[in-house]
Amino acid sequence: FNILGLPTELVSHSISFLSMKDRLRVAGVNKKLRKIESESKYYVKFMFLDISTSPDVIRRIAHNASIGRMCVNLRDLNESNRKIFNLVKEFDIGTLYFGPNAHDIILMEMMVDSFFADLTRTCKTMFLRECYNITPEALHQVSEGMSNCSVKLRSMSINKVHKEKITSFLNLVGIAFRDGKFYSNRVVEVYEWRHEEGDVIEHAIFDGSLEILLDHITFASGLGPFRLKLYETQNSLEEAKNREGYARIEVYPE
C-alpha cells in the first residue's frame, strides 16, 4: 500500500491519528511527508518535557500542536535546555506548570518580566513554584491584561511570593493592607474566610471580574501563595463571592 499515492488531504488525515513521536518519525521519511506534517495541526492532551530534546524538534511541535497540559521538568543546566525553556512561549497551551525537578537556575534566569508576559499570552492557566525575578509591576500589568482580556491567561497560582512583592502589587492596584484592614479609594470588594476557631485563613479581593487571593500565611511569615483568577461570566463571579465560609468585610477609604 503506497500512502504517498493518496491525496494530500487523506495523508494529512491519516497522520493525525499518529502519536507525536510517530508523526515526527513519518516527517523524516521524505520531503512530501515532511511538508504535509509541517502544515497539519493537532492536539496533544499532555506534554511532559523532562529530557533534553533538540530545540528544532520542539519548535516544530510548537508550530503544529495545541497542548492541553504541559509540564516543564528539565533538570540539566545546559544551553539546549535554555533554548527549550525559551520556546515554551511559542506554544498554544491550556495549562502550564513547572515540575519539581525543573532546574531553579534556569527558571531564575528565564522567569523575568518579559518572559513572564510572553507566557501569559501562551496559556490559560499557569502554576509557578516561586515568583523568581518577576516584579510587582509585571504582576500588575498581567492583572490588568487579564481584566481587559488582552492576554490569554485566565488563572495563575504562585506557591511562594514574598510579602513585600504582594504589598507592592496591591499598592499598584490601589489597595493597601495595614493592621489587618484593607484600604482603597477604588471600588473593590474584599471577602475573608475564617477557620472554625476564628482565625482568618484567606482573603479574596474582587476588582471587577478579577479575583486576587491572598493567604494569611503570606503576611504572617513573609512568604506565601498568591493567586489571580478571572471570572468570565456574571454567574461564575457571583458564585465565587458567595462561596461557603466567605464573608464580605469593609474596605476603608485611604
Say if 244 falls within a structural domain.
Answer: yes
Return the pLDDT at 38. Answer: 65
Say if 109 falls within a structural domain.
Answer: no
69/46 Cα distance (integer angstroms) = 5
Say if 173 falls within a structural domain.
Answer: yes
- Give Rg (Cα) of the chain: 22
Return the pLDDT at 5. Answer: 64
184/168 Cα distance (integer angstroms) = 14
Say if 56 falls within a structural domain.
Answer: no
Pair 113, 140: CB distance under 8 Å: no
The series of mean pLDDT values per 10 residues for the chain, 254 residues long, is 63 66 65 67 87 83 92 88 92 94 87 97 97 97 98 97 96 94 96 78 95 90 95 97 94 94
Count of domains for the chain:
1
Return the pLDDT at 152. Answer: 98
Say if 178 falls within a structural domain.
Answer: yes
Say if 254 falls within a structural domain.
Answer: yes
Say if 185 falls within a structural domain.
Answer: yes
Block residue for cell numbers 493592621: 179
pLDDT (tens digit per residue) in 64-86: 889 999 999 988 888 888 999 99
Return the pLDDT at 14. Answer: 66
Q: Give the bridge partners for 229, in sequence order.
A: 155, 211
76/32 Cα distance (integer angstroms) = 35
Return the pLDDT at 4. Answer: 60
Return the pLDDT at 219. Answer: 83
Ranges of H-type helices in the chain: 8-15, 20-27, 31-39, 55-64, 79-87, 104-110, 113-120, 136-147, 163-173, 216-221, 234-241
Say if 89 falls within a structural domain.
Answer: no
Domain of 245, in residue numbers = 154-254
32/3 Cα distance (integer angstroms) = 11
